[in-house]
Structure 1
């Protein structure tokens, strides 16, 4: 099958691209002139330039493809211009899926985010049946991805052959940016994590996420959501694993998110008005720490046979890659 992959130069997208090639599919990737192509070096792919905000370029990119993996997104915890999140993540997705529908694409996998999955009010595990309200979503990235997912679900009801996947917090090789989770690992390795926030997350090997995309393409139910995750951990437990892998001690100071919130507000103000650079303490990251983002991944394990590589193994791959690439 010939497929188009967006976001192939990014962390998840590069893993998906490698997995799809290994699966025997013919791969075309959509890139922008400014894309960092380090993650694509040596891969057998056809490249086509385009932009999610340019519908004509998308029509050309999708022509002749039977499948589509839409992994691309504007992913950050802060942006000087928040409208960028909505222009790319919402309107760009609509542009691409209109082009896919007109081209007669047979199967689509849309990479959403775990942030579009709701959490029970009383705590516990989130699952695919739960939807947050916009008021519950911290930041423009999550809000834009939630709105995009709502558009995708609407299009699915109209007959678009799309399956939605919601990765949790992937870790592993080729996190070139790095992602917010990757930045936590790098900061820990550098000894820059003087304290940790009392919160929780679900970690998953990025290569397992990639396989989850392929399984969603092959056997996922149309119009359904699948959480691609593995192990629920507290941030302290993550630090303990990283300490075993690196020899760096776990920070002794544990901070409740409410205590960090005023500092995050100050950092955000400085970023917006003074430095025009991402804040050292992202406000949206601190707001997310309010919730233990723990999830039930049973559906993907049962219906997609999602692999579950041990999280310590995935973190080891991440640590070794960051060392090799001189991040820490």
Structure 2
């Protein structure tokens, strides 16, 4: 049986569907606060109502927090392989401890149970946020070095710590795969991640910023996870990025996909600084979550490029063009409205 963590998230829900369609027996862990019906909703984007019920009812759901050892131990009974996609994503400095607790300690718990349970293989969904550019190179590859002195976000630090735990597992006998996807685009989660962009453009987003980074469709991430896990490859890391694109271009594509005007005004550094001050004050006075930390502001104007050639060459992997992914996601967004 296969165990999936983060099954109620964007990657996890799509991963569950593809694993089930391939005939696998799947167990998914969830937190008490999770909404399982969101998974059913995602299934309905790709299946008839009858098929949606059929596949959803095949999932062996078990309540377990990443830091609840007893519940996790129970969830590992009868498991042969693990896809670990659960993580906390936040750029609010007040969440630093929670990020470390969930992303690093939670991953350590998963790794320890993989070791003790003799798990055949572990796939960890990480992030390109853990990868730094090597001096003298133009793009980031899997041969990157983590430069501790750089101004990393708390989220990036927590995911880097999680990767260290996974590599520890490989040294103790668990075959592992680490995937580092770019910004993941896909339907169903309009209040978080890239889904927020569709919602904000629909509401009338005016500004864009000149950042370049890697983007990828959620179904490509799932495909990469399954094909690397089903292969004999072990103890390898892969960048999962379809294209490196400017945010301005991506926002234009999203706007077109939902028949809304694209943001036309460029965001300036001083505007971001004023926004950060406003968020800092509202967080202090009203306890509202901040969307960005002061040390992360510079990243909004960075141009970073990632190479996907390792997975392309080793697996003959073919990525779906980002414009096609956005078109499909926008169509679902319009349909839900």
TM-score by length of 1: 0.91
Q: Deviations over 1:30-59 (max 9, x none)?
A: 111111112322312001111111112111
2:151/2:295 contact within 8 Å kept: no
Q: Any gaps of 5 or more consecutive residues in structure 2? A: 41-52
Please name the residue that 2:48 is paired with: none
Rounded to whole Å, the distance in 2 between the matches of 1:190 and 1:140 is 29
| Alignment partner, residue 213 of structure 1 | 225
| 3-state SS, counterpart of residue 133 of structure 2 | coil
Match of 1:93 in 2: 107
Q: Give the match for residue 37 of structure 2.
A: 38
Quote how far apart the aligned CAs of 1:254 are: 1.4
Match of 2:16 in 1: 17
Partners of 1:287 and 1:90 in 2: CA distance: 25
Aligned to 2:216: 204
What is the correspondence of 1:112-123 to structure 2 with a 5 Å cutoff?
A: 112-121=126-135
What is the distance in 1 between the residues matched to 2:136 and 2:130? 18
Distance 1:264 1:300, change over 3 A: farther
Q: Which residue of 1 aligns with 2:78?
A: 64
Structure 2 partner of 1:249: 261
What is the correspondence of 1:181-200 to structure 2 with a 5 Å cutoff? 181-191=194-204, 193-200=205-212
Following TM superposition, by how much is the alpha carbon of 1:281 offset from its aligned partner in structure 2, in angstroms?
6.0
> 2:289 is matched with which residue: 278, 296, 303?
278
Q: Which moved more, 1:279-288 or 1:24-33?
A: 279-288
User: Counterpart of 1:68 in 2: which secondary structure?
Assistant: strand
Per the TM alignment, residue 303 of structure 1 is displaced from its structure 2 partner at its CA by: 2.1
* 2:270 is equivalent to residue 259 of structure 1: yes
Cα 1:122–1:261 shift into 2, 3 Å: farther
Residues 267/259 of structure 1: CA separation in 2 closer, same or farther (3 Å cut): same
Q: 1:172 aligns with which of 161, 164, 186?
A: 186
Picking from 108, 117, 120, the partner of 2:122 is: 108
List per-residue Cα deviations over 1:224-249 (Å, max 9, x = no partner).
11111101111111122223323433
- Residue deviations 1:283-313 (CA, integer Å, cap 9, x gap): 5663432422321111112223433112111
Residue 227 (structure 1) aligns with = 239
Of residues 166-175 and 270-279 in structure 1, the stretch that sits farther from structure 2 once superposed is 270-279
Change (3 A) 1:81 1:246: closer
What CA distance in whole angstroms lies between the structure 2 residues aligned with 1:123 and 1:195?
Answer: 31
Gaps in structure 1 of 5+ consecutive residues: none
The offset of 1:204, in angstroms, is: 1.0
Residue number in structure 2 paired with 1:128: 142
Q: Larger deviation: 309-318 or 205-214? A: 309-318
SS in 2 for 1:227: strand
Distance verdict in 2 for CA 1:58–1:147, change over 3 Å: same
Cα 1:138/1:261, change in 2 over 3 Å? farther
Moved more, 155-164 or 104-113: 155-164
**Where does residue 316 of structure 1 map in the other structure?**
327
Residue pair 2:115, 2:169 contacting (<8 A) in 1 also: no
SS in 1 for 2:95: coil
Instruction: Encode CA deviations 1:174-202: one digit per residue, 9 max, x unaligned.
Output: 225421x22223212221x2111111121
Length, aligned pairs only: 322
Task: Please tell me whether residue 302 in structure 1 is matched to residue 313 in structure 2.
Answer: yes
- Alpha-carbon distance between aligned partners in 2 of 1:273 and 1:197, rounded to the nearest angstrom: 27
Give the alignment's Cα RMSD to 1 decimal.
2.1
Listed one character per residue, the Cα deviations across residues 142-170 of structure 1 (whole Å, up to 9, x for unaligned) are 11001111221233123221111111111
